Amino acid sequence: MDTSSFRITQAKEFVLADIQTDAPDNFDKHESKKIVKELTKQIRTLQELMWAEQKQRLLVVLQAIDTAGKDGTIRAVFGRANPQGFKVQSFKRPTEIELAHDYLWRVHPHVPANGEIVIFNRSHYEDVLVVKIHDYAPAELVEKRYAHIRNFEQMLVDEGTTIIKIFLHITKDEQKRRLEDRLNQPEKNWKFEMSDLKERGYWNQYQDAFETMIQRTSTKDTPWYVIPANNKKYRNEVISSIIVETMESFNMEWPKPAEGLEDIVIE
């Protein structure tokens, strides 16, 4: 799959409403299932190589509106990953201690070390999204945060971290269907929160905030990928392809074995 069409390269001209939310008309879900199975096997192998080599760092940032599929993406794409060298960090409502510090204070300790893949399930971008929409911080301060974030991410890149930022793009109708699923299926009731309905009321404001976020922070070194996510199987294929493509570009090698192994006899 050519993933370049999902990568935002002309950020200033980016318009979220112009981006597709559905899979192509010729999408074959059965064939896609086979493709994703092979891609996730490759991710597992590449992750083992990455952990052994201990040179690369990969940070994957997942952002989206409620129900867009962040958790499902992590399970589908990284479900084969070895827990050693792989972490998922969720960023929910800040604690009192976190609020007593700058907004990046709680984020920095969780970035990947050598050999690690870290997934941010939501991220530092909440501070130009929720905070902006609900006026939790002055508008002029939120405006400065785009530059803060660009500089923070560039520092990580300069120090050896590869960053993939993924925005899952769904329609309002699709969100409605998924919320109804959570209500109608008892085993999914636990996922439903009344706050989901409140936030849905801000749909248009969120779309504007997402668009601005991508316009201001998609750079050459830290690009955003906007993924059509109405169709979960298509979403998984696209994201798996991006991850494999990125990790293959690391040109990793297995560490050289200790000398003299060929002479060892185990009795």
What's the gap between Cα 18 and its chain centre?
Answer: 21
* First-to-final CA distance of the chain: 49
Is the model's pLDDT at 260 over the cut of 90? no
Alpha-carbon torsion, ordered 173, 65, 140, 94, to 10 deg? 140
Is the model's pLDDT at 259 over the cut of 90? no
Residues 194-238: tens digit of each pLDDT: 888 899 999 999 999 999 999 999 999 999 999 999 999 999 999
Is the model's pLDDT at 185 over the cut of 90? no
pLDDT band for position 186 (cuts 50, 70, 90): confident
Amino acid identity, residue 255? P
Q: What pLDDT does 151 receive? A: 98
Task: Tell me the sheet residues that pair with 94.
Answer: none
Looking at the chain, list the stretches that DSSP marks H as alpha helix, in order from N- to C-terminal side: 29-53, 70-78, 96-99, 130-133, 139-158, 172-184, 194-200, 203-217, 232-248
How many residues in total does the chain contain? 267
Which CATH architecture fits 4-249? 3-Layer(aba) Sandwich (3.40)
Give dist(CA 243, CA 62) in Å, integer.
13
Amino acid identity, residue 30? H
pLDDT band for position 257 (cuts 50, 70, 90): confident
Residues 101-134: tens digit of each pLDDT: 999 999 999 999 999 999 999 999 999 999 999 9
Give dist(CA 39, CA 47) in Å, integer.
12
Task: Tell me the sheet residues that pair with 11.
Answer: none
Give dist(CA 105, CA 48) in Å, integer.
30
